[in-house]
Amino acid sequence: ASLFLSPGSESFIVGDSFSVELGVDTAGLPINAAQTTIYFPPDIVEVLSISKDNSIFSLWPKTPAFSNSAGEISFIGGLPHPGFNGKGNVITINFKAKKEGEALFSFDESKVLADDGKGTNILVFIKGAKYFIYQPEKIGLEATTTLPRIFSPTHPNENEWYSNNTPRFQWSLIKDIKGVSFVFDKNPDTIADTVSEGLLNFKNYDLIPDGIWYFHLRLEDESGWGETFHYRIQVDTNPPYPFEIIIDNAGDSTNPKPNLYFETKDDTSGIDIYKIKIGEEKFIDLMLAQINPFPTSLLRPGNYKIIVRAIDKAKNIVQTKTSLDIDPIETPEINIWPEKYVAGEETFYIEG
Question: Could you state, in chain order, the average pLDDT of each consecutive group of 10 residues for the chain (352 residues)?
Answer: 94 95 97 98 98 97 98 98 97 97 94 96 94 74 60 94 95 88 98 96 96 96 92 97 96 96 97 96 93 95 97 96 94 78 67 68
The CATH number linked to 51 is: 2.60.40.680
H/E element, 309? strand 302-312
pTM of the model: 0.83
The answer on 260 and 213 residing in a single domain is no
How high is the pLDDT of residue 147?
Answer: 61
Distance CA 321, CA 338 (A): 51
Residues 129 and 160 reside in one and the same domain:
no
Indicate whether 215 belongs to any domain: yes
Nearest to 180 by CA among 142, 223, 148: 148
The pLDDT, as a whole number, for residue 142 is: 53
Pair (90, 205) in one structural domain: no
Last residue of a domain, one of 75, 110, 135: 135
Q: Which strand (E) or helix (H) includes residue 286?
A: strand 284-286
Same domain, 114 and 172: no
Residue 92 lies in a domain: yes
DSSP state of 190: P
* Domain co-membership, 107 together with 173: no
Q: Which of 135, 155, 175 is the last residue of a domain?
A: 135
According to DSSP, the residues that pair with 303 across neighbouring strands are 325
Are 177 and 81 in the same domain? Answer: no
CA distances from 26 to 55, 143, 254 (A): 14, 45, 39
d(CA 227, CA 229): 6
Whether residue 30 is found in the same domain as residue 130: yes
Longest Cα–Cα distance of the chain, Å, equals: 114
The sign of the CA dihedral 281, 285, 289, 292 is positive
> What confidence score (pLDDT) does residue 140 get?
47
Q: Is 288 helix (H, G, I), strand (E, B) or coil?
A: helix
How far, in Å, CA of 319 to CA of 243, rounded?
8
Provide the residue count of the chain: 352
CATH number for 155: 2.60.40.10
Four-CA torsion 77, 78, 79, 82, nearest 10 degrees:
150
Residues 43 and 165 in one domain: no
Residues 108 and 199 in one domain: no
Rounded CA-CA distance 63/211 in Å is: 39
Q: Distance (Å, rounded) from C-alpha 336 to C-alpha 57?
A: 66
Strand 111-114 and strand 294-295: the pairing is unpaired
At residue 339, the pLDDT reads 73
Domain membership of residue 241 (yes or no) is no
- Contact (CB, 8 A) for 272 and 311: yes
What is the predicted pLDDT for the residue at 333?
Answer: 82
Looking at the domain assignment, is residue 335 inside a domain? no
Give how many domains the chain has, as a whole number.
3
Among 235, 261, 285, give the residue marking a domain's end. 235
Residues 28 and 100 grouped into a single domain: yes
| Sheet strands (E) in 98-210 | 101-107, 111-114, 125-127, 129-134, 161-162, 168-170, 179-185, 202-204
Check whether residue 152 and residue 67 sit in a common domain. Answer: no
Residue range(s) defining the domain that contains residue 169 = 140-235
